[in-house]
C-alpha cells in the first residue's frame, strides 16, 4: 500500500463525519460504496445496507444526532489483499456526554477513489463479551 493510498483512505474516513453529520446525502457516495453495509453493535444493534439506507439513517437521526470524530486510524492489508482500517471514534451527544469506540472498516478502491464497503461500529463501553481481552 502506497503512502498516497493510505492518505486517500484517511481522507475518505475523515470525510465521513462531515458528510454524515451534515446530512449531505448526495455526497455519501464519496465515502461509501453503493452497496455498503454498516453494522451498528451498540445497544440492540442494527445493520444498514446500501447507500440509500445510509442516507435515510443520517437524515433520520434528526437535529440532535451525535457529532462524530474519527481518530487514530491504522490501515492494513490482509494476505488476500483486503484493505482494512481501524479507527477510534468519539461521538459527542447534544447534552455534552460522549460515547466512543472503534470503526472497523473494509475499503474498496473504486474508479472514484477509496470507499468504505463495510463498517462495523463497536462501542468501547460497555464492552461486549467478544470484544474484551
Q: Could you tell me the domains of the chain?
A: 3-125 (3.10.450.50)
Looking at the chain, which runs of residues are DSSP E strands?
Answer: 32-40, 46-49, 67-77, 83-92, 98-110, 113-123
DSSP β-bridge partners for residue 10: none
Residues 10, 84: Cα–Cα separation, whole Å: 11
Query: In 10 A of CB 56, how many CB atoms?
Result: 13
What are the cell numbers at 21? Answer: 453529520
- pLDDT attached to residue 131: 46
Q: pLDDT (tens digit, 0 to 9) for every residue of the chain, 133 residues total?
A: 999 999 999 999 999 999 999 999 999 999 999 999 999 998 778 999 999 999 999 999 888 889 999 999 999 999 999 999 999 999 999 999 999 999 999 999 999 999 999 999 999 876 655 544 4
Return the pLDDT at 43: 76
Compute the distance between CA of residue 117 and CA of residue 96 in angstroms, rounded to an integer: 31
Give me the pLDDT at residue 126, please. Answer: 65
Q: Parallel, antiparallel, or unpaired for β 113-123 and 32-40?
A: parallel
On whether the CB atoms of residues 24 and 32 are closer than 8 A, the answer is no
Find, among 16, 54, 50, the residue nearest to 34 by Cα: 50
Its pTM surpasses 0.85 = yes
Amino acid at each position: 500500500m502506497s503512502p498516497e493510498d493510505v492518505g486517500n483512505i484517511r481522507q475518505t474516513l475523515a470525510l465521513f463525519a462531515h458528510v454524515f453529520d451534515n446530512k449531505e446525502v448526495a455526497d455519501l457516495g464519496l465515502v461509501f460504496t453503493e452497496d455498503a453495509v454498516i453494522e451498528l453493535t451498540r445497544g440492540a444493534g442494527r445493520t444498514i445496507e446500501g447507500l440509500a439506507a445510509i442516507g435515510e439513517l443520517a437524515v433520520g437521526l434528526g437535529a440532535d444526532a451525535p457529532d462524530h470524530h474519527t481518530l487514530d486510524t491504522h490501515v492494513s492489508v490482509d494476505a488476500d489483499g483486503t484493505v482494512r482500517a481501524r479507527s477510534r471514534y468519539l461521538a459527542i451527544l447534544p447534552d455534552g456526554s460522549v460515547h466512543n469506540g472503534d470503526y472497523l472498516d473494509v475499503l474498496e478502491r473504486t474508479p472514484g477513489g477509496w470507499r468504505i464497503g463495510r463498517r462495523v461500529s463497536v462501542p468501547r463501553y460497555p464492552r461486549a463479551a467478544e470484544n474484551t481481552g
